[in-house]
Amino acid sequence: MKAIVIEQYGGKDQLIEKEVTTPTPGDGQILIEMHATSINPIDWKLREGYLKEMLPFEFPIILGWDAAGTVKEIGSNVSRFKKGDKVFSRPATTNKGTYAEYVIAEESLVTKMPENLEYGEAASVPLTGLTAWQCLFDFGGVKEGDKVLIHAGSGGVGTIAIQLAKNAGAYVATTASERNIEFLESLGADEVINYKETDFKDILHDYDFVLDSLGGDIQEKSFEVLKNGGRLASIVAPPNEDLAKLKGVKAGFVWLEPNGEQLDQIRKLIEEGKVKPHVGHTFEFSEEGLRKAHELSESHHARGKIVIPIKA
């Protein structure tokens, strides 16, 4: 099968096309024929070698951890799916990712694709959707009436997190550039702060939860908007524990755990029209296409998700 792999750490030029052996599903596993995948920051962070201690994979590495496609084969003891089913998944984090024509996923991590989405839209959901869910609800305990700040609202995690938080009944503020204000209001954001003109810490106070996807100074300043007992979840860097203790805040780094049951909950919200993924950019399944996609993701200026169609 065709795959885009890396054979050593480095820049985007390390992404090369290669023929590799099509995997065979084992006990409790599903072979998915890929129709689309998407790009996430973990892809280029691993490619650059930033995560090699956390994820010490052997080369060659197939990057990518979003899958949307059809069931091609099932292993023994698979009961919920059959050949031809449309599915999507955030497979386990291994060195055999989703920049490939076929991918293996555990049945427990697979769910039926939302009936109202195309493959590309579905591929944009699993990693960012689960990240937003686990930050908001598993870590943050966000509930009706909470005041929530979501940084970088127009990004992949941000667009889903805004909708999930609003569906839970929270008041949602977010940060963005001027060009994305109207877009984020259309997603349900109650307050959109143009970070180029206004410092969010000067106008937001007594918030219950912050989702930090930027780190650095933004993360540090986020403590100032939280009330005593508030929560801060970061997906980029572990927060300052001393500062959290001083402010009376629960703060932590959230590393996504693939979860098929939570993904199915998100699927239901999508089918009910309460959450809608936003595909902002599409690139072809080739060395050049993946390199351009990584370049855009690294720029931090993509709106919504970057999707790679694999099969029409």
Please tell me the distance from the alpha carbon of residue 175 to that of residue 195, in angstroms, as a whole number.
6
Which residues, at least 6 apart from 299, have a Cβ–Cβ distance to it below 8 Å?
none
Q: 39 has which bridge partners? A: 306
* Distance separating alpha carbons of residues 254 and 34, to the nearest angstrom: 28
Question: What's the chain's length in residues?
Answer: 312
Peptide bond into 60 cis (omega under 30): yes
What's the CA gap between 21 and 32, in Å, rounded? 14
Distances (CA, A) of 188 to 149, 169, 175, 184, 194: 13, 11, 13, 7, 16
Q: What is the DSSP annotation of 211-226?
A: EESS-HHHHHHHGGGE
Q: Identify the pLDDT of residue 301.
A: 86
Residue 137 DSSP symbol = I
pTM greater than 0.95 (yes/no):
yes
Give the mean pLDDT of 51-59. 96
| Contact status, residue 250 vs residue 135, Cβ threshold 8 Å | no
Q: Average pLDDT in the 284-302 region?
A: 96
Report residue 90's pLDDT band, with 50, 70 and 90 as the boundaries: very high
pLDDT (tens digit per residue) in 11-32: 999 999 999 999 999 999 999 9
Dihedrals phi, psi of 101, to nearest 5 degrees: -75, -20
What domains, with CATH codes, occur in the chain?
A: 2-125+277-309 (3.90.180.10), 128-253 (3.40.50.720)
Can you give the pLDDT at residue 172? 98
- What would the two tokens of residue 265 be? 């909950």
Is residue 279 classed as helix, strand or coil in its secondary structure?
strand
Q: How confident is the model at residue 268 (pLDDT cuts 50, 70, 90)?
A: very high
Is it the case that residue 312 has pLDDT exceeding 80? no
**DSSP code, position 7:** S
Q: Taking every pair of C-alpha atoms in the chain, what is the biggest distance, in angstroms?
A: 58
3-state secondary structure (DSSP) of residue 47: helix
